[in-house]
């Protein structure tokens, strides 16, 4: 899979995740069905969701910058380091989702974060040199 294809898929995943978090924030999706069922109040949910929305927007911006860099044939170490951090964050989130109380979060959350970790790895890994 090419880096550009992985980026485009990540744009769709992050867009869907942002919509999901906005629905939780607006209390259209019950907050007791997310965050491994560990949220105890609306205030706590709003804090967690605000952080999550901002983090996902940040990731989206970094990946858009990476996409533009690929189009120009340039690299930026800071952007690459941030994407490596995304790989780790999604991998850790995958482990956290394995302990979710909600079956939907367990299955869907684990699958999405695992795929996101793999896609970010594809986006940031250096191409092999000298391999035919």
Per-domain boundaries in the chain? 3-124
Q: Is the pLDDT of residue 130 over 60?
A: no
Give me 79's structure tokens: 């952007």
Q: Is the pLDDT of residue 132 over 50?
A: no
The rounded distance, in Å, linking the Cα atoms of 68 and 23 is: 30
What DSSP string describes the chain? --HHHHHHHHHHHHHHHHHHHHHHHTTSS-GGGSGGG---SHHHHHHHHHHHHHHHHHHHHHHHHHHHHHHHT---HHHHHHHHHHHHHHHHHHHHHTT-SSHHIIIIIHHHHHHHHHHHHHHHSPPPSS--
pLDDT at position 34? 76
Q: What is the pLDDT of residues 67-104, one digit of tens each?
A: 999 999 888 999 999 999 999 999 998 988 888 777 77
């Amino acid at each position: 899979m090419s880096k550009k294809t992985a980026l485009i898929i990540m744009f769709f995943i992050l867009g869907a995740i942002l919509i999901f978090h906005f629905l939780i924030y607006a209390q259209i999706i019950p907050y007791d069905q997310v965050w491994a069922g560990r949220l105890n109040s609306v205030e706590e949910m709003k804090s967690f969701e605000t952080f999550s929305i901002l983090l996902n927007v940040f990731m989206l911006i970094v990946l858009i910058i990476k996409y533009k860099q690929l189009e120009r044939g340039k690299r930026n170490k800071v952007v690459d380091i941030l994407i490596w951090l995304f790989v780790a964050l999604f991998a850790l989130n995958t482990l956290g989702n394995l302990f979710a109380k909600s079956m939907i979060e367990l299955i869907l959350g684990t699958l999405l974060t695992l795929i996101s970790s793999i896609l970010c790895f594809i986006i940031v890994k250096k191409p092999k040199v000298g391999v035919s």
